[in-house]
Structure 1
């Protein structure tokens, strides 16, 4: 079988034609009407009042924090299992990420451990809905916790487009602001890109000015606040519009792939697929805990199957080196593996992957 990548974006003729058609218009390429249309599509899909797109999903979190009033020196609770962009986004302007371990079942922040980490400097909590999953404690528990402790709740929903909480609210719409990523591995992609959604008019106003130099209005050089340049482009928007037209079908296919993996890996001792509520949520990647993970990864590579190590505990990364023991995130760092996860996977490829994993564990590699 040809090599099966762990991930790959999915662009087609529609995206190519949209970009070419735009270039025939002699547009300025910087964000304008196509970007507005893309924002409107995201807002309608998530049922959010406002959507603001920016150049990537890390900056989106930075702007979310700044628009909510988080400042240098403030402590922000973040999960110890996440993409490093989450803590980096607030560290960028001098806020202090405080690492919290995650729930074993969901890999979302452990609320009890968050409560233990509160100090007088704690200003906000960033909830990462890991792989589109919601915390076992429930989103309501996080909302109440933040209200009780006067904390800002930001939802890092980078991996959660298409995923909802059991009450039907799309992830990213419950906190003060939610953030999505459109980098190459995501369900839809614009190469790079991020989106912020909020139902708060004031936060939306601040976000639009923060991303555009603090201008008092479009296209002028008069500034009533400090801002930066994190704008989108019309070329990205052309791609994003076509991608959004396909999102519902991709969501369904991702759920189908999860069911095929679950069936194909059932009964294999040595590997455990993380559970996913596919009625309400969509897996971004197919994540599992594996015995002899590194050996399995090598074995699968020899079978032309690509995999990827899951995030290691951030506090132990060289970039941070923060003291503390976080059992769950450390276990994931040692045993976590992402299986091939792109939406174009065929049923035949998934069957081959599962048979290969079974072969590894059935030949005495447990």
Structure 2
């Protein structure tokens, strides 16, 4: 690495471990369709999160759609979603003919507040999509995850956890994020802490929901290799090649978690006291940051400056209701502010301390700090 090497905002890490796993499988002359490697990958995720069941599917948007389907969401139903999230969250229920109802997020966590959700519930509300932004949990001031669980019990509205960014993050009571909802969903797209290129996983402790999810992803049948279908289902299966990569990635997860936390800590120390910079906080005892996220004054000018210095960034999600795909009226001040000021700094697991220091130096230089 030289002082002038370009630093991308994100890059997945695949290497010798993944290659060895794939070659081993190819030497077996397998069918590639999901089988024993997929089952092993599901078991690894279930054991890591503490869930009773894990079902993997082809991507993390489909996983949310299947979670909603399994919980009875259908045409005309309403599903509450945060106005700050990746657009996959509302799109996953829009695909079912349901209506995403957007609620603004809290300024410190970028997560829904239970009382704001309560105000948005109507007789047509079937589910809440709780997104744990960047591995963060609902704040203690908002009642923590327990407030959402209580709201779900009180109203009968299903709680789905969109934990796409939260593998390796836990609630204060020791449960892995994704375990509090009826179903939790993870993503393994390229930028995530582990990746299979594309892929998603669903976790649940319910035998009934697990059975529904397995059938929904595999044509409605109880198992592969049979053409008896007791219910409607689709084809959202995984592949053994993805599972091979996933198994190798899962073995590296215990090393990646502390490194992700250390990356965030070094940024926090390097940017401390810089006027115009607000990194979002993380309790690294529990949270493993997926990306380094923050609000930056003159965000676009900063991004241009960093690009000129060979440093990549990515703007954070714009407010969903203002996206042309939805174009809805309403005021959501926090998500709108993130759309103007939110920036993800380089966050890949391969970052070394010298690169983080170089990035912080350039940010400090931009702000005259």
Q: TM-score range by the shorter chain?
A: over 0.9
In the alignment, the residues of structure 1 paired with residue 58 and residue 132 of structure 2 have an alpha-carbon distance, to the nearest angstrom, of 21
Residue 47 of structure 2 corresponds to: 44
Residue 61 of structure 1 corresponds to: 64
Aligned residues of 2:218 and 2:235 also touching (Cα < 8 A): yes
In the alignment, the residues of structure 2 paired with residue 281 and residue 28 of structure 1 have an alpha-carbon distance, to the nearest angstrom, of 38
Residue 112 of structure 1 corresponds to: 115
Match of 1:252 among 252, 258, 263: 258
In the alignment, the residues of structure 2 paired with residue 13 and residue 158 of structure 1 have an alpha-carbon distance, to the nearest angstrom, of 26
In the alignment, the residues of structure 1 paired with residue 117 and residue 324 of structure 2 have an alpha-carbon distance, to the nearest angstrom, of 23
Aligned residues of 2:214 and 2:222 also touching (Cα < 8 A): no
Residue 160 of structure 1 corresponds to: 166
Residue 199 of structure 2 corresponds to: 193
Matched, 1:29 2:22: no
Match of 1:308 among 294, 305, 314: 314
Task: Give the C-alpha shift of residue 114 in structure 1.
Answer: 1.3
Aligned-partner SS, 1:245: helix
Range moving further from structure 2, 215-224 or 183-192: 215-224
Matched, 1:134 2:104: no
Pairwise mapping of residues 312-323 of structure 1 onto structure 2 (< 5 A)? 312-323=318-329
Task: Give the C-alpha shift of residue 148 in structure 1.
Answer: 1.0
Task: Give the C-alpha shift of residue 217 in structure 1.
Answer: 2.7
Aligned-partner SS, 2:185: strand
Pairwise mapping of residues 182-261 of structure 1 onto structure 2 (< 5 A)? 182-261=188-267
In the alignment, the residues of structure 2 paired with residue 318 and residue 83 of structure 1 have an alpha-carbon distance, to the nearest angstrom, of 14
Task: Give the C-alpha shift of residue 216 in structure 1.
Answer: 3.3
What is the root-mean-square deviation in Å for CA atoms of aligned residues? 0.7
Which deviations, in whole Å up to 9, do the C-alpha atoms of 1:153-183 show, x marking residues without a partner?
A: 0000000000000111000111100000000
Q: How many residues align?
A: 363
Aligned residues of 2:84 and 2:320 also touching (Cα < 8 A): yes
Residue 271 of structure 2 corresponds to: 265
In the alignment, the residues of structure 1 paired with residue 294 and residue 165 of structure 2 have an alpha-carbon distance, to the nearest angstrom, of 16
In the alignment, the residues of structure 2 paired with residue 154 and residue 111 of structure 1 have an alpha-carbon distance, to the nearest angstrom, of 14
Task: Give the C-alpha shift of residue 135 in structure 1.
Answer: 1.1
In the alignment, the residues of structure 2 paired with residue 212 and residue 73 of structure 1 have an alpha-carbon distance, to the nearest angstrom, of 25
In the alignment, the residues of structure 1 paired with residue 172 and residue 272 of structure 2 have an alpha-carbon distance, to the nearest angstrom, of 26
Residue 4 of structure 1 corresponds to: 7
Residue 342 of structure 1 corresponds to: 348
Matched, 1:328 2:334: yes
In the alignment, the residues of structure 2 paired with residue 73 and residue 16 of structure 1 have an alpha-carbon distance, to the nearest angstrom, of 46
Aligned residues of 2:190 and 2:197 also touching (Cα < 8 A): yes
Deviating 4+ runs (over 2 angstroms): none
Aligned residues of 2:109 and 2:133 also touching (Cα < 8 A): yes
In the alignment, the residues of structure 2 paired with residue 129 and residue 194 of structure 1 have an alpha-carbon distance, to the nearest angstrom, of 16
In the alignment, the residues of structure 2 paired with residue 187 and residue 334 of structure 1 have an alpha-carbon distance, to the nearest angstrom, of 26
Task: Give the C-alpha shift of residue 110 in structure 1.
Answer: 2.2
User: TM-score with structure 1 length normalisation?
Assistant: 0.98
